[in-house]
């Protein structure tokens, strides 16, 4: 295990070499996969994340005791929910709350199906989110960062740029400043996050974007916020805005 101090020194040396963070075009996380992983990701028979998508499709059609199936209200989801994932996170007008796709699905679950919430990172919510997001595959991310979303966007941007943790590193220093550099066998990407929920080999399962964010927070020994926390939701909006125009790639495969 590499010590925090050594890692910090190594990264600072790399940052000095890389010079000032350049405002280049953002590329998707898949661009930074090895060719073999890329092939595995793109082959539905070899990318285990598709199992979750299939589970999600099954759940979508299942009627809970308390109300309608998702399918009962969202008929022909391949058409009716196509593109939905590209617009999340988004501010819900009525409540002024920022909702990501997981939050929106939980809302339908509790308020429209009158059933108990699945819970963040439950197999059910991951499957349904992966399924709904997969219906937007190939469509460009198109969140709104203006109007009521502006304060959330600003909070996310400030989070992204703030140095934090024992290593005193910002998200930006790695995901802008060190893009393309190797870190513990990974190639640092722009942190676009357009393939989540994704199957990560290290997890041996599918996980949400917030699970990945928690891993990055831990990596710099900073506070790990809760799944669905306001901090990570704002960050998710900022990342989605940075990734505007990039195609949805859910379900992705990651190391």
Judged by beta carbon, residue 186 or residue 226, the one nearer ligand HEC is 186
Do 121 and 207 meet the contact criterion of CB atoms below 8 Å apart?
Answer: yes
Do 120 and 46 meet the contact criterion of CB atoms below 8 Å apart?
Answer: no
- d(CA 159, CA 178) in angstroms, rounded, equals 18
- d(CA 242, CA 238) in angstroms, rounded, equals 6
**Closest distance to ligand HEC from the beta carbon of 151 (Å):** 18
Please state whether the peptide bond connecting residue 89 to the residue before it is cis, i.e. omega within 30 degrees of 0: yes
**Closest distance to ligand HEC from the beta carbon of 44 (Å):** 19
In the complex, the residues that contact ligand HEC under the rule CB under 6 A are: 11, 29, 32, 60, 67-68, 70, 72-74, 81, 84, 87, 104-105, 108-109, 112-113, 128, 132, 160, 169, 171, 173-175, 183, 186, 188-189, 191-193, 195, 212-213, 216-217, 219-220, 235, 239, 254
**Closest distance to ligand HEC from the beta carbon of 183 (Å):** 4
Token pair, residue 145, equals: 């960062």
**Closest distance to ligand HEC from the beta carbon of 205 (Å):** 15
Do 52 and 206 meet the contact criterion of CB atoms below 8 Å apart?
Answer: yes
- d(CA 182, CA 190) in angstroms, rounded, equals 13
The residue with its CB nearest to ligand HEC is 29
């Amino acid at each position: 295990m590499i010590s925090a101090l050594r890692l910090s020194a190594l990264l600072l040396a790399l940052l000095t070499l890389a010079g000032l963070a350049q405002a280049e075009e953002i590329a998707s996380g898949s661009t930074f996969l090895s060719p073999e992983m890329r092939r595995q990701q793109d082959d539905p028979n070899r990318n285990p994340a598709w199992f979750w998508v299939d589970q999600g499709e099954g759940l979508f059609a299942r009627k809970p005791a308390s109300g309608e199936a998702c399918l009962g209200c969202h008929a022909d989801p391949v058409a009716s929910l196509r593109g939905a994932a590209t617009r999340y996170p988004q501010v819900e007008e009525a409540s002024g709350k920022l909702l990501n796709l997981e939050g929106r699905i939980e809302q339908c679950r509790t308020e429209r199906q009158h059933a108990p919430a699945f819970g963040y990172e439950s197999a059910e919510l991951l499957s349904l989110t992966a399924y709904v997001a997969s219906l937007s595959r190939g469509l460009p991310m198109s969140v709104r960062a203006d109007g009521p979303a502006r304060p959330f966007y600003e909070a996310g941007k400030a989070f992204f740029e703030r140095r934090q943790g024992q290593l005193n590193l910002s998200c930006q220093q790695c995901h802008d400043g060190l893009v393309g550099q190797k870190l513990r066998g990974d190639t640092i990407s722009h942190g676009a996050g357009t393939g989540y929920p994704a199957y990560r080999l290290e997890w041996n399962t599918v996980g949400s974007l917030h699970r990945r964010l928690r891993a990055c927070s831990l990596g710099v020994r900073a506070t790990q916020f809760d799944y669905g926390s306001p901090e990570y939701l704002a960050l998710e909006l900022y990342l989605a805005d940075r990734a505007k125009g990039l195609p949805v790639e859910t379900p992705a495969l990651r190391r």
